[in-house]
Structure 1
Amino acid sequence: MQDKIAQSERLAMQVSINSIIVNLILSVGKLAAGILANSAAMISDAVHSASDVFSTFIVMAGVKISNKASDAEHQYGHERLECVAAIILAIVLALTGIGIGYAGLEKILHASAEDLKIPGSLALIAAVISIIVKEGMFWYTKKAAAKINSSALMADAWHHRSDALSSIGSFIGILGARMGYPALDPLASVVICLMIVYASYEIFKDAIDKMVDRSCDEATINTMTALINAQKGVDHIDVLQTRKFGCRIYVDVEVSADDDLTLLEAHTIAENIHKAIESNFSEVKHCMVHVNPCSEVHHD
């Protein structure tokens, strides 16, 4: 398990470092393009990319701390701290989006016609490059997050996707402004705000679900049920409970077996179930199995 955790941490760190490098280059490039091309939407987009750098540092810290080994004071590990990192990331993302939306509304409501300048073509080019790069980073980060089941890294992936959506909004706003509707440029900032806030809500909700011991989805439960029933000596399942603990899963199982089994035979059944669950579900950190006699009457 520790080797697997170490490999996951290395992958998360490498993806995060790559993310920081890409976001630094993009944010500087988009800011320069926004200033030179007089585009409020592109400047807002640059701020969003810059916030990605900060959020990635949060992800790195969350992954690093959550992968610490269990100790005397934290005997079940530190996995939930990754959820804390995801929650912080969601808050940062929401505040960034609200700030962008506020600036866009201010410009729409209070700027004069002279203030609503027509953005240059450089801003359009920057938006297209950003869309391509950020969508690529979304799929790259999402694949790594799914591989190691990291909620913080998955949140960072969706941060990339929100940045790609922001750039699409920027492109539409800039193009509309260049076609004679200058108000569309700051209006794009407001649309970007809504997209970012929604993405932050999704990240926050997922992190909270993992903080409050939410059970696994129905498909996972059904697969576990079939796997347990397939083990030799199992008569039927009495109890199957799961809970998400950060990016890991804990499983509690009670099965009934023949009354005449020896203690060693009953233990073998429990051990086989334990190994089957942990070997077929990499995100399961621990599986506790109890074997009941078939004749035992269970009461809630």
Structure 2
Amino acid sequence: MSRKDAVRRVGALVLAVNAGLVVAKAAVWATTGSLAVGSEAVNSLADVAYSAVVVAGLYLTTRPPDFSHPHGHERIEPFVSLFVALGVFAAGGAVLWQATTAVLSGDIAVTTAPTAVAVLAGTAAVKYGLYRYCLRVADETHSPALRATALDNRIDILTASAALVGVVGANLGVPALDPAAAGVVALGILYTGYEIVEDNVDYLVGSAPPEDLRVEIVRRALVHPDVEGAHDVIAHYVGPEIDVSLHIEVEGDRTLMEAHDIETEVMESIRALDQVDDVFVHVDPKELGEWKDDEEIERLVGNAEE
């Protein structure tokens, strides 16, 4: 399955599941009057809204390149992720506010209805399955938007579990467990929002990729038998993908055709890396002495040899 199809399929699945959960929770809320289930129904309704935006965003990011966007539309993905992060922060703040006001007012209302327990336990189980699935596809496709979606589903596991603790607490005669658990969950939600922002800021500001990937880029350049050295190696994120530029040194007596072939082979070798989009290779005649000491390259070369 192509990256485009995989990303779109996950987005549509998450939207459909969230819509189904809204219906199930609303039905239980209407029959039991459970505030815990009611708040979860509202939470799922919000999930439907953000899921629709994510699906639209993923549709845009997987469109083919055009005249206005010759490198494709993947750079939209970090912005989709940040939209998810805003929803996460809003959810965390709302849960924390509800927990705090419940404790201060002493107005703690929960239900002991078995249907409430069933729908909350079912929600946690479904969301765990979605979390694992979204995370797996996000790792396979290197999609920051799907990773943010996975983390958001992890939040829903926590919120459903907190509501379940409240219902169980009511059965045990300790209704105060509801706001206490909600407060802990709220902190977890806010931290997840921070994780999403932290992940995507690197994509937006053009940070360097992880060192193991930079080592592999340098290794692929230097492993070519006609490359004598490399310098000015720059790799940085452009959206969720990586652009690479570097200078390689070759023997000065190479013909233009030979130099072109070397450049092409090095470029194709580096571009074969999953996360790499564009590669720009400049060929320098070794005899011109343009090579320069580069401590970063020497360190990466040492790591590659190890």
Moved more, 244-253 or 64-73: 64-73
1:289 maps to a residue whose letter is V
Partner residue, 1:259 = 252
Counterpart in the other structure of 1:53: 48
State how far apart, in whole Å, the 1-side matches of 2:121 and 2:63 are: 41
1:77 Cα deviation (Å)? 4.0
For residue 218 of structure 1, report the CA deviation from its aligned partner: 0.6
Quote the residue 1:17 is aligned against.
12
| 2:35 counterpart letter in structure 1 | A
Of stretches 101-110 and 266-275 in structure 1, the one that deviates more from structure 2 is 101-110
Equivalent residue number for residue 290 of structure 1: 282
Indicate yes or no: 2:219 matched with 1:222: no
1:258-299 superposed Cα distances (whole Å, 9 cap, x missing partner): 2222222111111001111112x1222210011112232346
**Cα shift at 1:28:** 2.7
In structure 1, stretches of 5+ residues that fail to align are: none
Is 1:196 equivalent to 2:189 in the alignment?
Answer: yes
Q: TM-score, normalised by structure 2?
A: 0.87
Task: Verify the 8 A CA contact 1:169 1:188 in the aligned structure 2.
Answer: yes
Gaps of 5+ in 2: 295-306
2:167 aligned residue: 174
Distance in 2 (CA, whole Å) between partners of 1:190 and 1:294 is 64
Residues of 2 paired with 1:9 and 1:85: CA distance?
Answer: 16
Alignment partners' CA distance in 2, 1:194 and 1:48: 16
Paired residue for 2:129?
136
Cα deviations by residue, 1:169-226 (Å, 9 ceiling, x for unpaired)? 2223322232111111233332232222211111122122100001110111112222
Structure 2: how far apart are the matches of 1:267 and 1:235?
15
Q: Secondary structure at the match of 1:253?
A: strand
- For residue 94 of structure 2, what is the amino acid of its counterpart? G
Match of 1:204, SS?
Answer: helix
Identity of aligned residues (%): 28
Q: Structure 1 130/177 Cα, relative in aligned 2: closer, same or farther at 3 Å?
A: same
2:93 matched to 1:98? yes
Superposed CA deviations along residues 106-157 of structure 1, whole A, max 9, x for unmatched, are 2221134xx5345333322222211211111111112222222211111111
C-alpha displacement at 1:46, in angstroms?
A: 2.9
Q: 1:15 to 1:72 in 2, by over 3 A?
A: closer
Report deviation, 1:80.
2.2
Distance 1:17 1:142 in 2: 15
| Separation in structure 2 between the aligned mates of residue 117 and residue 294 of structure 1, nearest angstrom | 76
**1:248 and 2:241 are equivalent in the alignment:** yes
Structure 1: how far apart are the matches of 2:15 and 2:64? 27
Question: Considering only aligned residues, what root-mean-square deviation do their CA atoms show, in Å?
Answer: 2.2
Structure 1 letter corresponding to 2:13? N
Larger mean CA deviation between 190-199 and 65-74 belongs to: 65-74
Matching residue within 110, 114, 119 for 1:121: 114
SS in structure 1 at match of 2:249: strand
* Separation in 2, partners of 1:83, 1:106: 34
Q: Determine the C-alpha separation between the residues in 2 that align with 1:210 and 1:143.
A: 20
Aligned residues: 292
- Where 2:282 maps in the other structure, the secondary structure is strand
Cα pair 1:37 1:121 within 8 Å, conserved: no
Is the Cα–Cα contact under 8 Å of residues 246 and 280 in structure 2 kept in the other structure?
yes
Say yes or no: does 1:236 pair with 2:221: no
Equivalent position of 2:35 in the other structure: 40
Change (3 A) 1:190 1:46: farther
Seen in structure 2, the aligned counterparts of structure 1 residues 43 and 188 have a Cα distance that, compared at 3 Å, is farther
Q: Are 2:110 and 2:166, in contact at CA under 8 Å, matched by a contact in 1?
A: no
Quick one: distance in 2 between partners of 1:127 and 1:259? Answer: 71
Residue in structure 1 matched with residue 157 of structure 2 by the alignment: 164
Amino acid of the structure 1 residue aligned with 2:88: L
